[in-house]
Amino acid sequence: MEEPKSFLIVGLGNPGPEYEKTPHNMGFLAIDRLAERHGIRVTRKESRALVGIGKINGASVVLVKPQTFMNLSGQSVKSLLEAHSLSVKDLILVYDELALPWMQIRIRPKGSAAGHNGVKSVISLLGTDEFSRLRLGINPGHPMDASQFVLAPFRRAQSEELDSFISQAAEAVESIIANGVEKSMTVYNRRAEGK
């Protein structure tokens, strides 16, 4: 019999109430939604992160919200992979993506950081970009100062759609766990293009 899989699911964001409802915290919001859907409490302090351990679709999962601030996220990720005897192939990284339109989802088995400081930190500390990631589109479709936009509270129009977007993100992670990256890509990446 095949051993049940284990995953380290890391949402990128910034700690602190002032960042809670901002585009740069999409990763945290997705982790919160997964925790809520599967009765996992993400409250344990470990490796400069908030951690919750539980099961999703029969797989053991460690849900993670690094508390290091975005550009040092790799420190927590590396430390937690080691602490839980997991490898880079067991990692699913969830984060906001300014290069994608609002509410578009992209699943990838690997790839560059594309200018995202949190992802840069993870790649640099792990020494590889070969890990699964779920990119959540936050581009509002109008010109903006990127550094200010990602840390500013969601606008009203986005706030109204946020709940459904976060649910889709959680479903995409559940799909990766149950069906793998390749199958999930065919479902979620195609669906995104239809928006």
**Residue pLDDT tens, the chain, 195 long:** 556 689 999 999 999 999 999 999 999 999 999 999 999 999 999 999 999 999 999 999 999 999 999 999 999 999 999 999 999 999 999 999 999 999 999 999 999 999 999 999 999 999 999 999 999 999 988 888 888 899 999 988 899 999 999 999 999 999 999 999 999 999 999 765 444
- pLDDT the model gives residue 139: 93
CB-CB contact of 46 with 40 (8 Å): no
- pLDDT the model gives residue 3: 62
Interhelix angle 26-38/156-179, rounded to 10 degrees, is: 60
pTM given for the model:
0.95
Active site residues: 24
Domains and CATH numbers, the chain: 6-193 (3.40.50.1470)
Q: How far is CA 120 from CA 61, 92, 112, 116, 153, in A?
A: 23, 15, 8, 6, 24
- pLDDT the model gives residue 1: 54
